[in-house]
Amino acid sequence: MLYINGAGSGDPEAYAIAELVDVPAFGEDSAALTFEHMARRCSSTTLHAALKGIAADESRHQLWLACLQQSLPLLTPDPEYKKRLRLFFRRLAHEDLQVHFARIFALDSAVCQLLGTVRSRCAPLAAAVNPVFAGIGRDEARHVGVARRAAGPLLGTSRGRDLVAEVREGLTHVLAHRANAFETLRVDPDRLFLRLRRMPQDGGGVGRLTLG
């Protein structure tokens, strides 16, 4: 097993990053399949192209994270946690595309916040971690824009805000299991979770995609 910058399995920062990378790595696979499935059943050409683009991005993220994981310490298997992660990501999917996109808006905007926070604390591992986090961050920021447009006015309603809050609450619950990893990277988990629970700014001024 290779470790970043020669770090061994005893390197707490490398292990912490491995623990944090494990969370999105688990979601990318199901995300790519879900977006492919949604693209197939969508009749709007614009949205179909957007969904296919997101599916391709998520497949690429899966690959990038898998490569990064090759350079990080192996985690102790935790089937119970895997079960919780699987449940969290599975619950994002919804037949109603606007609901689904409201949830994707909530999740991907939270991922952008997370990547930004963790990236700034990965200095010793920056050469391996930064290009991956920067690439994913760019794509996720684009997904936030697509999701915001596709969710349309729902995001401005109390139901939309509840959907966003539920996803972000759920995310902080699964991340709480990795609180020690944040502490190892000198990120205060309580403050981070508080920020993640806040309603993200929607930016406004972006047109709507037509759902079909």
Contacts with Fe ion, residue ranges (CB under 5 A) = 58, 61, 108, 140, 143
Can you say whether residue 93 is alpha, beta or left, with left for phi > 0 and alpha for psi between -120 and 50 degrees? Answer: beta
Q: Closest distance between Fe ion and the C-beta of residue 46, in Å? A: 18
| Rg (the chain; Cα; Å) | 17
DSSP 157: S
CA-to-CA separations, 14 to 21, 62, 137, in angstroms, rounded: 10, 19, 20
Dump the DSSP string for 72-97: SPPPPP-HHHHHHHHHHHHTT--SSH
**Residue placing its CB nearer to Fe ion in the complex, 19 or 58:** 58
Query: With respect to Fe ion, which residue has the nearer C-beta, 124 or 130?
Result: 130
Using DSSP's 3-state secondary structure scheme, residue 104 falls into: helix
User: Angle at Cα 179 formed by Cα 122 and Cα 188, nearest 5°?
Assistant: 65
CB of 30 to Fe ion, least distance (A): 11
**CA 81 vs CA 22, 23, 27, 28, 167: distances in Å:** 11, 10, 13, 16, 17
Least gap, CB of 1 to Fe ion (angstroms): 25
* Closest approach of Fe ion to the CB of residue 24, in Å: 6
Residue 106 tokens read as: 């909530």
Q: What's the min distance (Å) between Cβ of 7 and Fe ion? A: 25
